[in-house]
């Protein structure tokens, strides 16, 4: 064991939190160093290892965020906090629930996908989100009760199992707390909307050392106001000429009409309000073509949904003897979210009868409309060539009128999502016969229930009213038609699910042998987990009966058993050189008959050539099993997330013939098209390889840092075929396009017949290829005491990507490094740069958050003079400031400003979210936000 030196102090500072300042809060070195000195000989367990040892000896690239630093950021949710870490980018956010229901907030280390980041609570698993195909919902983590967060920026499949490929985020609860404290938090958003308020009370009693027990109880309630698109200038319209975008939907409250007139002429897609430039605020119409209008749907949507979060957390520890203690944890969280999106599009063929009471007497054709050759004019003449209409002209419709309608009079669609998480852990830890041991039983359950809110309609209820002419699809409803429309709304249960995990784990460790250069540390452990998933859809969703819904959403249920056996050894092989070896065996046995197993090994080293420097590195192999949804999801018809045009019947958004049936049977140009999604019981596990190599240094007592290069490759990755890839290369992916014969209804795979509309595009889950990522993490810390003048500090935390992308089987590699591709962009560079100053009762901080810009999303079918092939999204740069004051021992006040300069998100033409004009996944639309936190401790 090394003696107390500058290096050992540095390494304790490093691995107890000195380099792990994640959010660029330069006060962290002071906090971390104090903790390190107070616990210099305490044997602790660091995330990523199962062996307890002095913190100075470990060599893992771990970022540690302590409670005081979390509070300084103004973050109230785990999602907000994790999104500030430079190495995390592109996880799910609350805003993604707009236009989709049941979307969790997720972490995404290395921008490889949320499924590759393992989220733990006190070192143990949390139940996965129960709807869709998602990992842990960050909203299930009670941030108010968290003492610290450890982020392992390295794969840990050898210790934790299959889904720790990109890293581990371990939320650690407060413990051994005594007293009662209350805190209140409130924000004021300068531009309005999206405010947050919360209240927390925490109580603890009993002292482990003297009373031999400690009990902690913490309760928190938070409320988030919604922020609507109309409240921000950068997101208030779907028509953005500056971006070359007109994302207005052709599915309108007043449809683009298909009809014939009394002279025998035929019209496709003519809107009765196009003559006046679609000027109709009641239906939010805008111009989309020479004869058609579109709905500016963002007038109805949220940017951030309204939400309420409550949690209750308790923890108890009982010391049976000096060597043994029992512990128990119980946590319950409840989240309720209301998200609003555009009024529902009536995507089935709307056929309004000639005898309907709202049937129009005339339809006005707009000036400039191109009339085809052979068109019969009201004066009896017939055009001999294409003719441009010189003035607006009324025509008299006859017979049924068809078109795609939208339920604008019924208001925007609302989803009510309630998520409950229950987690109970009972266990024991201590020392038995010289072995450190820990064992526990864990029960975790995630329950999601999504209910129909206002603006959701049933085809079975509404279609008879439309077909009989009782609903006005041409303008304002009267009292009777409005009552009929509202009476067709859906209520009650929509869909939901339950995900449960029951697990037993046991591990033990000790030093087993003395070598000339130190003792060999050894650990061994086992776990057994039973996972169950039950996703249930209402009959309405299962049959696809919802107006404007996502199509058929079938129920899914399944279970699996996972057995794990792992071991780890730390071997001092030479002076200042130490090796770490770990391996884990996992066996999956699925309830539907398949099974597979795998061994995940890992080898690491540390080398200390001097008292001011340490080298470290690791190499590992891992795997990730298919989820139950990956395996079991039945074939179902859904919609694309973005808008596309049928490449055969509407290439580049232009119908192959403006007077034929394109658009008459269904929308085919620049809309969400039908897809068929399905699981695959024959999927194989993904395989991963990774390595890291780095340097930790402290040349002076005031300056320290680390630099690590990391590299991850994932083979046989499991994904649904990409809609972007398929539509951007319809020739190479022709087999995925299924078309139907309108006369017979027969569906033909791979058809290119221009007379056959698109039935759906098949996007099954497959082991498609690989992901890859590489980069450098850099952290620099400075802390200087200036006597009576206080203490200053600075921190620079960086992730720089050198490589990032994916490859589909049989296709070349695709780099998304600084370029928006199928899975979004990966900015080359992200940092937080912070400075702090503390004196007496006061402390202050200023933090710069920066994400480098990237090439914008490109819809190849839209490229033209106003839509360049390559467009740059600007860098996203914000400043946060905080001022803390502690006027007395039991009172503390924090005042802060997030986004001090009130920067709007950079403009983006990304079309994969309902929001338009910016990317909701990667930015925050709130703008400058003031916040205050008051904390009072009862002594």
Q: What is the mean pLDDT of residues 474-501?
A: 95
Give strand pairing partners of 444.
423, 501
8 Å CB contact between 609 and 646 = no
Q: Is 332 left (phi over 0), alpha (psi -120 to 50) or beta?
A: beta
Which pLDDT belongs to residue 658? Answer: 52
The per-residue DSSP string of 381-405 comes to -B-SS-EE--S-EEE-EEEEEEEEE
pLDDT of residue 722: 80
Q: How many CB atoms lie within 10 A of CB 860?
A: 12
Q: Pick 578 or 611 by higher pLDDT.
A: 578
pLDDT of 24 reads 34
Q: Per-residue pLDDT tens for 862-879?
A: 888 999 999 999 999 999
Q: CA dist 76 to 68, 81, 85, 196, Å? A: 13, 8, 15, 9
**How far apart, in whole angstroms, are the C-alpha atoms of residue 631 and residue 769?**
17
Mean pLDDT throughout 122-135?
89
Closest-CA residue to 208 (of 315, 122, 318, 313): 318
Mean pLDDT check: name the lowest of 2-11, 108-117, 336-345, 461-470: 2-11
**How does pLDDT run across 512-564, given as a tens digit for each residue?**
999 999 999 999 999 999 999 999 989 988 888 899 876 677 788 999 999 99
How many angstroms separate the CA atoms of 179 and 217, rounded?
A: 11
User: pLDDT (tens digit, 9 = 90+) per residue, 421-448?
Assistant: 999 999 999 999 999 999 999 999 999 9
Interval 707-745: pLDDT, tens = 999 999 999 998 888 888 888 889 989 999 999 998 888
Band of pLDDT at residue 189, cut at 50, 70 and 90: very high
Residue 25 has pLDDT above 60, yes or no: no
What is the Cα 101 distance to its own chain's centre? 13
Phi then psi dihedrals of residue 673, to 5 deg: -100, 165
Integer angstrom CA distances of residue 756 from 199, 250, 302, 666, 753:
59, 21, 37, 11, 6
pLDDT in tens, 636-653: 777 787 788 999 999 988
Which pLDDT belongs to residue 79? Answer: 87
- Averaged pLDDT, 191-197: 96
Phi and psi for 91 in degrees, rounded to 5? -75, 175
When pLDDT is cut at 50, 70 and 90, the band that residue 12 belongs to is very low
Which tokens go with 11?
């390494």
Name 509's Cβ contacts closer than 8 Å, sequence gap at least 6: 50, 51, 52, 435, 436, 437, 521, 522, 523, 524, 568
The helix (run of H) or strand (run of E) holding residue 512 is strand 492-515
* pLDDT band at 660; cut points 50, 70, 90: low
DSSP secondary structure letters along 836-848: EEEETTEEEEEEE
Is the sign of the CA dihedral 253, 254, 258, 262 positive or negative?
positive
Residue 8: per-residue pLDDT: 34
Q: What is the pLDDT of residue 551?
A: 67
| Residue 589 confidence class, pLDDT cut points 50, 70, 90 | very high
Name the most confidently modeled range: 72-86, 470-484, 531-545, 761-775. 470-484
User: Which region holds residue 703: left if phi is over 0, alpha if psi is between -120 and 50, else beta?
Assistant: beta
Pairing of strands 266-270, 872-873: unpaired
Question: What is the C-alpha separation between 858 and 582, in angstroms, rounded?
Answer: 44
Backbone torsions φ then ψ of 173, nearest 5 degrees = -70, 155
Phi, psi of 68 (to 5 degrees): -65, -30
Structure confidence at residue 45 (pLDDT)? 61
Statement: residue 584 has pLDDT above 90: yes
Is 690:619 a contact under the CB 8 Å cutoff? yes
Say yes or no to pLDDT of 901 above 50: yes
Q: List CB contacts of 744: < 8 A, sequence separation 6 or more.
A: none
User: Which pLDDT score, from 0 to 100, does residue 44 have?
Assistant: 52
361's torsion region: left (phi>0), alpha (psi -120 to 50) or beta?
alpha
Q: Collapse the DSSP code of 477 into the 3-class scheme (helix H, G, I; strand E, B; otherwise coil) and give the result.
A: coil
Give me the residue spans of the domains in the chain. 6-229+305-342+415-453+490-634+681-726+764-938
Lowest model confidence (mean pLDDT) among 124-128, 248-252, 661-665: 661-665
Question: What is the residue-wise DSSP string for 893-918?
Answer: EEEEEESTT-PPPPPB---SSSS-BS
Chain segment 800-819, per-residue pLDDT in tens: 999 999 988 777 899 999 99
Task: pLDDT band for 47, please (50, 70, 90 cuts).
Answer: low
pLDDT-based confidence at residue 186 (cuts at 50, 70, 90): very high
To the question of domain 6-229+305-342+415-453+490-634+681-726+764-938 being in CATH 3.10.20.30, the answer is: no
Phi, psi of 234 (to 5 degrees): -80, -5
Q: What is the pLDDT of residue 9?
A: 33
Mean pLDDT of 650-660: 77
381's CB contacts (< 8 A; 6+ apart) are: none
pLDDT of residue 766: 83
Strand partners, 210: none
Residue 29: pLDDT band (50, 70, 90) is: very low
Model pLDDT, residue 447: 97
What integer best gives the mean pLDDT of the chain?
88
Q: Kindly indicate the confidence band of residue 160, based on its pLDDT and cuts at 50, 70 and 90.
A: confident
pLDDT for the residue 48: 64
Q: Tokens representing 543?
A: 């049959």
Task: For residues 793-797, give the mean pLDDT.
Answer: 95
**CA angle 286–290–296, rounded 5-degree value:** 15
Looking at residue 498, what is its pLDDT?
96
What confidence score (pLDDT) does residue 46 get?
60
Q: What is the pLDDT of residue 654?
A: 85
Query: Does 286 have pLDDT greater than 90?
Result: yes
């Amino acid at each position: 064991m090394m003696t107390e030196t500058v290096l050992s102090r540095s390494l304790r500072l490093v691995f107890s939190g000195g380099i792990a300042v994640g959010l660029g809060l330069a006060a962290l070195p002071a906090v971390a160093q104090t903790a390190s000195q107070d616990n210099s000989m305490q044997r602790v367990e660091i995330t990523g290892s199962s062996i307890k040892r002095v913190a100075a000896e470990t060599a893992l690239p771990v970022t540690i965020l302590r409670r005081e630093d979390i509070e300084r950021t103004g973050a109230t949710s785990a999602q907000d906090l994790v999104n500030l870490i430079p190495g995390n980018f592109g996880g799910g956010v609350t805003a993604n629930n707009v236009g989709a229901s049941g979307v969790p907030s997720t972490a995404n280390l290395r921008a490889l996908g949320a499924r590759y980041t393992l989220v733990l609570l006190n070192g143990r698993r949390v139940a996965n989100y129960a709807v869709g195909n998602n990992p842990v919902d960050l909203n299930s983590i009670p941030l108010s009760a968290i003492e610290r967060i450890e982020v392992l920026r390295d794969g840990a499949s050898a210790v934790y199992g299959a889904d720790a490929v990109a890293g581990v985020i371990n939320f650690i609860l407060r413990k051994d707390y005594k007293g009662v404290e209350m805190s209140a938090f409130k924000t004021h958003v300068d531009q309005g909307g999206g405010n947050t308020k919360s209240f927390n009370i925490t109580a603890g009693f009993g002292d482990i050392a003297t009373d031999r027990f400690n009990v902690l109880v913490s309760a928190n309630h938070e409320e988030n106001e919604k922020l609507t698109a109309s409240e921000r200038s950068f997101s208030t319209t779907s028509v953005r000429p500056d971006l070359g975008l007109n994302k207005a939907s052709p599915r309108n409250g007043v449809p683009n009409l298909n009809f014939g007139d009394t002279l025998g002429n035929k019209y496709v897609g003519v809107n009765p309000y196009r003559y006046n430039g679609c000027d109709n605020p009641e239906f939010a119409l805008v111009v989309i073509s020479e004869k058609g209008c579109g709905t500016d749907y963002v007038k109805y949507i949220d940017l951030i949904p309204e939400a309420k979060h409550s949690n209750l957390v308790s923890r108890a520890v009982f010391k049976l003897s000096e060597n043994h203690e029992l512990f128990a944890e119980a946590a319950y969280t409840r989240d309720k979210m209301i998200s609003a999106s555009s009024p529902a599009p009536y995507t089935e063929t709307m056929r309004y009868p000639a005898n309907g009471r709202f049937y129009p007497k005339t339809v006005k054709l707009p000036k400039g409309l191109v009339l085809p050759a052979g068109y019969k004019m009201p004066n009896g003449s017939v055009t001999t060539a294409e003719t441009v209409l010189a003035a607006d002209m009324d025509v008299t419709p006859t017979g049924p009128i068809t078109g795609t309608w939208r339920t604008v009079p019924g208001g925007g669609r609302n989803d009510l999502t309630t998520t409950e998480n229950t987690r109970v852990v009972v266990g024991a830890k201590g020392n038995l016969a010289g072995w450190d041991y820990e064992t526990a039983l864990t029960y975790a359950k995630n329950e999601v229930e999504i209910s129909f809110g206002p603006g959701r309609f049933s085809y079975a209820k509404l279609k008879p009213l439309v077909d009989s002419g009782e609903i006005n699809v041409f303008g304002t409803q009267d009292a009777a038609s409005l009552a009929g429309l509202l009476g067709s709304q859906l209520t009650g249960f929509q869909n939901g699910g339950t995900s449960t995990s029951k697990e037993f784990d046991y591990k033990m460790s000790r030093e087993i042998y003395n070598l000339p250069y130190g003792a060999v540390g050894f650990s061994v452990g086992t776990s057994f987990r039973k996972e169950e998933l039950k996703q249930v859809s209402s009959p309405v969703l299962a049959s696809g009966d919802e107006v404007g819904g996502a199509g058929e959403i079938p129920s899914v249920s399944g279970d699996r058993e996972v057995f794990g056996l792992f071991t780890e050894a730390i071997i001092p092989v030479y002076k200042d050189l130490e090796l770490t070896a770990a391996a884990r065996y996992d066996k999956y046995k699925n309830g539907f008959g398949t099974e597979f197993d795998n061994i995940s090994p890992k080898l690491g080293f540390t080398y200390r050539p001097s008292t001011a420097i340490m080298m470290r590195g690791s190499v590992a192999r891992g795997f990730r099993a298919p989820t139950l949804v990956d395996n079991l999801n039945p074939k179902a018809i859904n919609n694309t997330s973005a808008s596309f045009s049928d490449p055969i019947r509407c290439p580049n958004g232009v119908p192959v013939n403006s007077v034929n049936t394109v658009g008459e049977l269904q929308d085919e140009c620049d809309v969400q098209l039908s897809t068929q999604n399905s699981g695959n019981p024959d999927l194989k596990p993904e395989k991963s390889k990774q390595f890291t190599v780095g340097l930790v240094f402290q040349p002076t007592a005031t300056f320290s840092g680390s630099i690590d290069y990391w590299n991850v490759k994932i083979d046989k990755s499991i994904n649904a075929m990409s809609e972007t890839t398929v539509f951007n290369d319809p020739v190479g992916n022709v087999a995925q396009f299924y078309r139907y014969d309108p006369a017979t209804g027969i569906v033909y795979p791979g058809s290119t017949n221009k007379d056959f509309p698109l039935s759906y595009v098949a996007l099954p889950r497959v082991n498609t290829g690989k992901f890859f990522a590489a980069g450098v993490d850099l952290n620099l810390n400075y802390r200087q005491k200036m006597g009576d003048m206080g203490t200053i500090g600075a921190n620079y935390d960086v992730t720089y990507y050198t490589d990032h992308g994916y490859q589909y089987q049989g296709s070349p590699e695709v780099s998304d490094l600084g370029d928006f591709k199928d899975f979004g962009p990966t900015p080359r560079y992200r940092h937080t740069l912070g400075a702090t100053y503390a004196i007496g009762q006061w402390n202050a901080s200023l933090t710069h958050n920066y994400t480098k810009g990237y090439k914008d999303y490109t819809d190849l079918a839209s490229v033209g003079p106003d839509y360049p092939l390559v467009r740059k999204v600007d860098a996203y740069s914000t400043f946060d400031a905080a001022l803390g004051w502690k006027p007395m021992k039991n009172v503390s006040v924090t005042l802060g400003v997030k986004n001090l300069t009130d920067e709007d998100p950079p403009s983006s033409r990304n079309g994969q979210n309902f929001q338009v004009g910016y990317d909701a996944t990667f930015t925050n639309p709130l703008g400058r936000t003031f916040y205050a936190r008051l904390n009072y401790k009862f002594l």
